[in-house]
Structure 1
């Protein structure tokens, strides 16, 4: 019986093996086919990366045009504690190596007289950024030299540093200008431009001064239109300024003979020479000069500098970067303001080698991309100003 069972077991086992082997073979074949199909699809449909070029092409905008390199403009707002006082510091650094960047003065309504909010000047000029400018007389006349795009609006005093941009580079220099009229007989020196004249002086008046020379004393005035002397008038008061010319006013008593005659070609010029891309703006006192703090405790325009007040300054780094700096003040819980010497220390901290004072107090203001970024000290509101320093970004 046992032998019979063993024989039956061997027969069953043999038949089972014959059944299992084909099943295993079928399974293995199916797996192999699956792998073949998978990898074939992978190579057929996967996008093969292209070889990258040795040099990276310039980035492109959504319009497919090359993207311009970043502008050399850096704005920072920092809360600092200086000698135990909280300060809000706004700094705009501007590189002039990029031809798209333009820094220049601006006057209210583009005239010698008057006041205008900085935000309105920014809107009118299309500027990207701006700060308030320097000091001015009672009716908004600049306190010193102003040249915009090579055109002189007012003369230098020779007493304060002038912020100059010429040949694509910025500087702070003390400048004593020379003014004259070119005429067929040579050069004739004049004393001033767009300013109230004194006895015996010769002053040039341009349309930016207003509709007339505003003279109230005896004078002899040469009316120049389209570069030619149109008439010479003796007057006891004002003379209208032609929109396409200028006046040359000799205040009585006139020294010597007037060298011009009607029909003469007359042209105003000044030194130092500045072309149409040159700018100049006379600031207040030096704050930092050649890396040293030189500001004193009193200034002719500011007065006492030992008080903590809102401050505006313009400066230059060693590499020529223009630094526009504003510090809020007269707001103890927000920003106390700085003394003159503290302002010098702060400028050195930001890497400024040369810097000069601009107007401060309630005039202190900075605008970036259409927004007033600081908090003016008078109720947080803008004060109408005689002018500003603007930063334009040209396409």
Structure 2
């Protein structure tokens, strides 16, 4: 046997073993370094989480963020989740506090007057104008209806089932429509048929669950085109000549002044719908999309109030928002509702604009039904 070959083979084998051992040691060192890095990252994340929790619960700015998040959840079907942010007792207190504020905001006597332009001037302007609006985190539309006497309140066609705004616009032959009042919505899966409060259309009471002596906050229009918003009894509404109205709250502008002091009192971020009126009688509808990160998260009521004031509103009130927010013009949905269907939810009422409102035949779909006879969860 060749001793040189044997010696070379031994050297090669030894080198291979040395290289393998070196690789194993390198792998172990790499694993240790990776382990230390991951451990440090874990500690950093824990530290950041503890710091974030401390900031949220122990600092004024963090507390404001918590309450903003809670207020936003309160406006959704997941209201119960707010208790994990501020606690159940604080959630109950918060809701009660807002309700009291909303009640107080509807008390001041409204003294605004409107002066409609002469017919020739009125006819020279388009009946409906739509403008884009936007702000920090939201996008939406402002719809101006220059003749308030051409607005009617539409209702569904079939007992036991609400109707989408687009469907109401098309069925009644309206040129535009906006969602109006709220409704009973068990488990957030209601059929949209049972309104809350009152529904008045063409001067007739279509629905009333308030009782004859109780008050409710309404958003409506009287026979002369003047917007009515605030807390009234049914008799007061009739004495005032209210022609079209739904129950909703809060009133956010009265006698030309905003009632919401700042964004902190704006009741969270959400899709919004609101109605207002200028001194020349023009009705303003603000429709803001929300719950769509990257496009439009939504707005608070202070944002809506400021938009209304900027555009000359002397009175304004909140309408049903959230998943109900909807704007239809010329047979098309202009906004992007936060619903699975691009055509929105089934609703009990909608504000409709007509070129010839006298030709609109709106029948009382609740005739002969008592509130207690309606199952709002049954389709």
Q: Shorter-chain TM-score: which interval?
A: 0.5 to 0.7
Question: Structure 1 residue runs of 4+, over 6 Å off?
Answer: none
User: Counterpart of 1:218?
Assistant: none
Larger relative strand fraction: 1
User: Counterpart of 1:122?
Assistant: 169
The C-alpha deviation readout for 1:199-218, integer Å capped at 9, x for no partner, is xxxxxxxxxxxxxxxxxxxx
Residue ranges of structure 1 left out of the alignment (5+ in a row):
1-67, 180-269, 299-303
Q: Secondary structure at the match of 1:160?
A: strand
Q: Separation in 1 of the partners of 2:296 and 2:203?
A: 38
Task: Give the C-alpha shift of residue 172 in structure 1.
Answer: 2.6
Residue ranges of structure 2 left out of the alignment (5+ in a row):
1-122, 186-190, 360-379
Alignment CA distance shift 1:297-1:153 (3 Å):
farther
Tell me if the contact between 1:171 and 1:316 (Cα under 8 Å) persists in the aligned partners.
Answer: no
Question: Number of matched residues?
Answer: 223
Task: Give the C-alpha shift of residue 279 in structure 1.
Answer: 2.2
Q: Separation in 1 of the partners of 2:340 and 2:296?
A: 14
The C-alpha deviation readout for 1:288-340, integer Å capped at 9, x for no partner, is 22233224899xxxxx9532110000111122211111001111211121012
Tell me if the contact between 1:311 and 1:360 (Cα under 8 Å) persists in the aligned partners.
Answer: yes
Tell me if the contact between 2:217 and 2:229 (Cα under 8 Å) persists in the aligned partners.
Answer: no
TM-score (norm 2): 0.53
User: Counterpart of 2:215?
Assistant: 158
Tell me if the contact between 1:104 and 1:391 (Cα under 8 Å) persists in the aligned partners.
Answer: yes
User: Counterpart of 1:90?
Assistant: 141
1:129-208 matched pairs, under 5 angstroms: 129-138=176-185, 140-155=193-208, 158-178=215-235
User: Counterpart of 1:334?
Assistant: 295
Q: Separation in 1 of the partners of 2:167 and 2:333?
A: 12
TM-score (norm 1): 0.51
Task: Give the C-alpha shift of residue 274 in structure 1.
Answer: 4.2
2:314 paired residue among 331, 334, 353: 353
Alignment CA distance shift 1:164-1:349 (3 Å):
same
Q: Does 1:285 align with 2:332?
A: no
Q: Secondary structure at the match of 1:341?
A: helix
Q: Secondary structure at the match of 2:215?
A: coil
Q: Separation in 1 of the partners of 2:262 and 2:218?
A: 18
Q: Separation in 2 of the partners of 1:296 and 1:169?
A: 26
The C-alpha deviation readout for 1:193-249, integer Å capped at 9, x for no partner, is xxxxxxxxxxxxxxxxxxxxxxxxxxxxxxxxxxxxxxxxxxxxxxxxxxxxxxxxx
Q: Separation in 2 of the partners of 1:126 and 1:72?
A: 15
Q: Separation in 2 of the partners of 1:72 and 1:360?
A: 24
Tell me if the contact between 1:287 and 1:357 (Cα under 8 Å) persists in the aligned partners.
Answer: yes
Tell me if the contact between 1:314 and 1:325 (Cα under 8 Å) persists in the aligned partners.
Answer: yes
